[in-house]
A and B are shown apart, each in its own frame.
Chain A
Amino acid sequence: GAVVSQHPSRVICKSGTSVKIECRSLDFQATTMFWYRQFPKQSLMLMATSNEGSKATYEQGVEKDKFLINHASLTLSTLTVTSAHPEDSSFYICSGSGTPNTGELFFGEGSRLTVL
């Protein structure tokens, strides 16, 4: 299977600061990656689809100015939570499909964000 790596795995920040999470595809090129968010004891909710070289596509209800996504290369997508607040505390996880694209998605280790 394809290997997806996220960094950092945990981050604690003060309210009002911005936090960047990196998602890398280690053994494949990802033209498309997906960002999910998971609150405690809940399922994973798709936030946005990250497209290499173009703007991300956000799901309904997700603020694009709050969650900035950049997919500048075929192996790196970043999610920046801007002006984070305690309600943004969550588990963020990215995914991509391997090469060749069989449709199966592989997920990173996830990043746990805590905003104080």
Chain B
Amino acid sequence: GIQVEQSPPDLILQEGANSTLRCNFSDSVNNLQWFHQNPWGQLINLFYIPSGTKQNGRLSATTVATERYSLLYISSSQTTDSGVYFCAVEGSYNTDKLIFGTGTRLQVFP
């Protein structure tokens, strides 16, 4: 099945810093989503981005499907950005299943 790797696995930032999270996937995809998992476990939808670039406030994401990667940019980080960020993909050949990446654990300190 499709493999989804995220980097870095852990990231520690001071408030105000910018960061880039990467998601690599091993096969072509129909869909790709980015999530933020808060300390209570809830998954917050950030972006639905099978291709192209989207922005939402301090967050933006870019997916280059032909090169099999996606990037999540966080600018001017805040302590509330702390948590785990997951990308998840639906492979073109195994549709209707969203497979999660390994995750990036982000800690933002004041």
User: In the assembled complex, which residues on chain B have CB atoms less than 8 Å from the CB atom of A38?
Assistant: 41
B52-60, B63-71, B75-83, B94-102: which lies at the interface: B94-102
Most A CB within 10 A of own CB, among B30, B35, B100? B100
Give every chain A residue within 8 A of B96 (Cβ-Cβ): 32, 49
B73: interface (CB < 8 Å):
no
- CB-CB under 8 A from B24, the residues of chain A are none
Knowing A103-B31, A103-B90, the reply to whether A46 touches B45 (Cβ < 8 A) is: no
Q: Which B residues are closer than 8 A to A by beta carbons? A: 30-31, 33, 35, 40-43, 45, 48, 50, 86, 88, 90, 96-103
Complex formed: what's the CA distance from A4 to B87 in Å?
19
Instruction: Give the interface size bracket for A toward B.
Output: 20 to 34
B45 touches A106 (CB 8 A): yes
Q: Judging by beta carbons under 8 Å apart, are A49 and B97 in contact?
A: yes
Chain A contact residues, CB within 8 Å of chain B? 1, 32, 34, 36, 38, 43-46, 49, 91, 93, 95, 102-107, 109-110, 112
User: Contact: B98 with A105, CB < 8 Å?
Assistant: yes
Bound CA–CA A102/B21 (angstroms): 25
Residues of A within 8 A of B31 (CB): 103-104
Partner of B101, one of A36, A43, A49: A43
Chain B hits for A103, CB < 8 A: 30-31, 48, 50, 90
Which residues of A sit under 8 angstroms from B86, Cβ to Cβ?
Answer: 43-44
